[in-house]
Structure 1
């Protein structure tokens, strides 16, 4: 029978704040307590109450973080935050070091560090990763600072995720910038959202998977694939999946969201999301049998995303670009409205003020022979004319007027 921890626990929001203040990911905290990242996520959201020995260990660890301000050293090797800086080890049972695969044997740590660049782990305000609410975030940060913190925290990983979705580097950067521009235009709504990073991620995926990109001349030609044959085969297999399957696979096996969260973000039922995930895994395992294990698939996706040195623009550039875009469309809307008003006024000015019946169309009269032009007389007609001239007149003489 499990028991609650003897040491009192702080509220769920305070648990997350302590972890982020110590620069710990959920995976790192889970490895210290001996649980999975999903369990830590449930503890921090308040859906699950820590109990038993794990709960006692979790409470003692939080107490030490609160009193000592413990900070964890950065990771070595593959960047576990390459796909999601907020969920470094999100899949249940996926904790510990990166598994050493056959094609990774013989690599030294320096070579791995060069090939898989880690993200910039500068301290990010805790409010940037969670909901930006008026009572805490906006009271300490201006909208510009809050947006910049969210962008610095999410943009690098989001560019890599979008690259796995599209296979195009420039399109990945463009989609992420467009998503953050939309977020900046709707910042009051995004700042109060429960998951601002998820809001921006959904917008970036929608922009990246838009079918209108196929009509753009610059995207009619494919980009150079990765140099490694295995990475090239993995990316090619991903791009052959339907967009909904590809997105579900990336969210669950790459980013590490749970199945309900994946279904909600893809706007599908949990059963549909599970079916999509199963079909996507089968398609990958059919061509690449090494990826039949979900854990190996996760780290292959992380590795493929870390190989490409994709850089996001500066937050100031994104904000100014969004503002310029908003001004352009605002002026275009104003110009269109003025043109519409002018056209309406001209129509009213030149329109007739009274009813004028239309002229009826002419009708063809049947049965009337067409007029015939006079021509030369025939022989019989000349004989008849001569006979009429020579015949004597019958009847009285003509009366001739006599002078007086």
Structure 2
């Protein structure tokens, strides 16, 4: 009997939703199918489609996930992994435990979709940003700021193929801004971690240049592929690989125990999970985002009104006809220039003395003399 491998597969977005419904990460699904995580990512984004036995196995696994099996039945029995501490995962984000239909996400309101994204991304993202900056308050502020921007631009973020990456990139950009050094409360370092090994790792991370630190965190911490890391850091793939190798060698030079990438990955996850970092509630972030939007809208309106008023005042007070400027003085031919005062003559000196000798009430009344 000939076995057919033309197993029908759902659309790429539905494949990802089914995986998240079963609480599986891309790495766990790849381990079940015997492929790499990049291959699963390509299947879920539509860049490629499996064929042959891989297609049949993939189709059967998705069909089993569609029956909404309990998480214990679909979890790979490989022991606990610390990766979810740093990985932004949207597993369990499906609002309905019902069998998947072509349009389950369309029933979500914008508020529900935003709250779901925040609830499953913010905790891990705060820990990532802490490793990136070494500051707890700045990590929380960066994540809240990123989600406030995401809520203001939600129509754009909602249709993004990977909204978690969109928010993560915004949070990283805010956290690594050089302007924070001028803020009074960020001029002094925060208390370091209590554990000596965590303290040593964080010290080494903070000595790396920000682009190298960000590349290392995305690749060895979050677990992105090299092309995805290069795209998120706005660098070419060779440049991202060079930054990664430089960061690894710097860490291995000071901490030889972390020379292996797998060991470094687990230590990053452990260091991040040690800190008790909590993000604000989703309603708080939405309310603050709307408040800031109203403030800047009113400020823009006030500035516009001020400009219109200044323009109107200028038009009202401006002259209605042309007034030529006063030309500079010119020398008239034939008229001698006014002589400067010189030394007084004898008659002028006598007159001045006589005038000074007169009384203060003025000269006497002069009468004409008869002839």
Same fold (TM over 0.5): yes
Structure 2 residue aligned with 1:19: 19
Q: 1:46 to 1:354 in 2, by over 3 A?
A: closer
Structure 1 residue aligned with 2:30: 30
Q: Is the 8 A contact 1:23 1:72 kept in 2?
A: no
Q: 1:245 to 1:57 in 2, by over 3 A?
A: same
Structure 1 SS opposite 2:217: helix
* Alpha-carbon shift at residue 168 of structure 1 (Å): 0.8
* Alpha-carbon shift at residue 56 of structure 1 (Å): 4.9
Q: Is the 8 A contact 1:175 1:204 kept in 2?
A: yes
Structure 2 residue aligned with 1:296: 263
Distance 1:18 1:290 in 2: 39
* Alpha-carbon shift at residue 206 of structure 1 (Å): 1.0
Structure 2 residue aligned with 1:196: 163
Structure 2 SS opposite 1:81: helix
Q: 1:154 to 1:364 in 2, by over 3 A?
A: farther
- Give deviations 1:290-337, integer Å, cap 9, x for gaps: 221111111111111111111111110000100000000000000001
Structure 2 residue aligned with 1:10: 9
Q: How does 1:260-339 map to 2 (within 5 A)?
A: 260-339=227-306
* Alpha-carbon shift at residue 29 of structure 1 (Å): 2.8
1:124 aligns with 2:93: yes
Q: Is the 8 A contact 1:245 1:276 kept in 2?
A: yes
Structure 2 residue aligned with 1:43: 43
Distance 2:8 2:273 in 1: 37
Structure 1 residue aligned with 2:126: 159
Q: How does 1:46-57 map to 2 (within 5 A)?
A: 46-50=46-50, 56-57=56-57
1:170 aligns with 2:133: no
Q: Please list every run of 5 or more consecutive structure 2 residues that lacks an aligned counterpart in the other structure.
A: 97-101, 348-371
TM-score by length of 2: 0.81
Q: 1:287 to 1:126 in 2, by over 3 A?
A: farther
Distance 1:288 1:280 in 2: 12
* Alpha-carbon shift at residue 42 of structure 1 (Å): 3.1
| Range with bigger deviation, 235-244 or 359-368 | 359-368
Q: How does 1:32-111 map to 2 (within 5 A)?
A: 32-50=32-50, 56-67=56-67, 69-72=69-72, 79-86=82-89
* Alpha-carbon shift at residue 346 of structure 1 (Å): 1.0
Structure 2 SS opposite 1:72: helix
* Alpha-carbon shift at residue 66 of structure 1 (Å): 3.0
Distance 1:4 1:36 in 2: 25
Give the superposed CA RMSD: 3.0
* Alpha-carbon shift at residue 65 of structure 1 (Å): 2.7
Bigger Rg over Cα? 1
Structure 1 residue aligned with 2:340: 370
Q: Please list every run of 5 or more consecutive structure 1 residues that lacks an aligned counterpart in the other structure.
A: 88-120, 128-134, 378-404
Distance 2:81 2:273 in 1: 7
* Alpha-carbon shift at residue 35 of structure 1 (Å): 4.0
Give the paired residue count: 335
Q: Is the 8 A contact 2:83 2:221 kept in 1?
A: no
- Give deviations 1:140-183, integer Å, cap 9, x for gaps: 10111111111111111111111111111111111111111111
Q: 1:41 to 1:86 in 2, by over 3 A?
A: same
Structure 2 residue aligned with 1:95: none
Q: 1:362 to 1:152 in 2, by over 3 A?
A: same
Structure 1 SS opposite 2:84: coil
Q: Is the 8 A contact 1:22 1:70 kept in 2?
A: yes
Structure 2 SS opposite 1:310: coil
| Range with bigger deviation, 24-33 or 186-195 | 24-33
